[in-house]
Amino acid sequence: MGRAPCCDKANVKKGPWSPEEDATLKAYIEEYGTGGNWIALPQKIGLKRCGKSCRLRWLNYLRPNIKHGGFSEEEDNIICNLYISIGSRWSIIAAQLPGRTDNDIKNYWNTRLKKKLLGRRKQSANNGLASSGQDPNDNGGDDSHSQGLSSSALERLQLHMQLQSLQNPLSFYNNPALWPKLHPFQEKMIQSLQSLNGMHNINNPVMQNVLPGQSTAPPLKSPQDYNPQINDSIPINTNNNFMDTNPVPKVNGVNIDQSNVTTQPASTFQAELESFLNNKGVGFTAQEDQLPQFEYLNTMNGSKDNLLWWANEFDSKSASSNSWDSTPVLQSEGMFQDFELGYNL
């Protein structure tokens, strides 16, 4: 049995709100409040609108002290930090930005901020693939190659790695002492990424050193050489914050870290890292003829569908919260733990 609709779809007006409708709604709510029942509200005041539409109009536009546009650099930073930390939980992000609505932030992110952050990738991809004649924006016209991990998850991972390495080459990804123990399958997954890494002829320390003791790259110095605060006895930070020892503030139980990290000079391999990242989800976009690179597939019933299984498993476990912050799976799997980092854009 399906749910009853919240309103009579045939008798409600859709589309842009007129100034008269705005005035009616605003006047009523300012005087009487919503009465705790949005569904009944439009009928009370004679608006032929769905209650949900009234609520949205009030929250996103008519409510006092709403700011539109003109996002500051500081707001950009906060949005980026929180997006990487908690994903597309726009309401929580909006709660950190007085006067901003979740819808506004969501639109801003999707239309501008994301491009601002990832713009370099596109440009770099154009450079890198120019000689191959391949359109960097064209993955063969088949997005199924990037199936598995959700675009949001990939995007956040890429953003995180890119920003983290660009700003702090001594970060988590470059520091074996900080790596959590991975599930054997995850290790294999990363091995395959290493394989692809070699295939793309990218001498990328991030990937080369993902597996301690298995890297072909020169051994890293001791952790202390990278960060005097780190020693072998330091456990993995359960706050997942390797940059800042301050407590992580929480909103609705979600860790929020808005601290900024001092920007450090980009190291020489950053261009290579970007190049790696430019191939969005390179490990998950293997063409048919590249699949043998995933040797572990042979050990898992010989099916390349297992790659999809892994990705789906990952996604489905995250899906319950519709976000990457599904802490139980992330913490237990331990793969992408440090999402509480701050950035300066």
Contacting residue, 26, 52, 183, 200, with DNA by CB under 7 A: 52
User: Which stretch, 24-32, 99-107, 131-139, 293-301, contacts DNA (CB under 7 A)?
Assistant: 99-107
Contact letters for DNA, residues 64-93 (x by CB under 7 A): ----xx------------------xxxxx-
Residue from 96, 107, 139, 191 touching DNA (CB under 7 A): that is 107
If one asks whether residue 139 binds DNA (CB under 7 A), the answer comes out as no
In terms of CB distance, is 5 or 219 closer to DNA?
A: 5
Q: Which residue spans within the chain are E strands per DSSP?
A: 250-251, 254-255
Which range, of 7-15, 119-127, 258-266, 279-287, touches DNA by CB under 7 A?
7-15
Residue 4 binds DNA, judged by CB under 7 A: yes
Q: How far is the CB of 50 from DNA (least distance, A)?
A: 6
Dihedral, CA of residue 334, residue 340, residue 344 and residue 345, to nearest 10:
60
Half-sphere exposure of 98 (CA within 13 A, CB side): 2
Q: How far is the CB of 142 from DNA (least distance, A)?
A: 17
Q: Does 245 bind DNA (CB under 7 A)?
A: no
Among residues 44, 112, 122, 181, which is the contact residue for DNA, using CB under 7 A? Answer: 112
- Residue holding tokens 């976009």? 285
Residue 167 to residue 45: CA distance in whole angstroms: 54
Given 26, 63, 96, 103, the residue binding DNA (CB under 7 A) = 103
Our CB check for DNA shows the closer of 152 and 237 to be 152
- Find the binding residues for DNA in span 254-293 (CB under 7 A): none
| CA–CA gap between residue 298 and residue 260 (Å, rounded) | 44
The closest of 294, 280, 278 to 150, measured between CA atoms, is 280
Q: Half-sphere exposure (CA, 13 Å, Cβ side) for 207?
A: 29
For residue 58, which amino acid is it? W
Could you tell me which residues come within 8 angstroms of residue 75 by beta carbon, excluding any fewer than 6 positions away? 97, 100
Site for DNA (CB under 7 A): how many residues? 47
327 is a site residue for DNA (CB under 7 A): no
- If the CB atoms of residues 125 and 286 are measured against DNA, the closer one turns out to be 125
- Candidates 183, 177, 204; CA nearest to 193 is 204
Q: Is 10 in the site for DNA (CB under 7 A)?
A: no
Contacts of 245 (CB under 8 A, 6+ apart): none
Q: What is the dihedral of CA 168, 169, 171, 177, to 10 degrees?
A: -160
> Where do contacts with DNA occur on this chain (CB under 7 A)?
1, 3-4, 6, 9, 13-17, 34, 36-39, 49-53, 55-57, 60-61, 68-69, 88-92, 102-104, 106-108, 110-112, 115, 152, 320-323
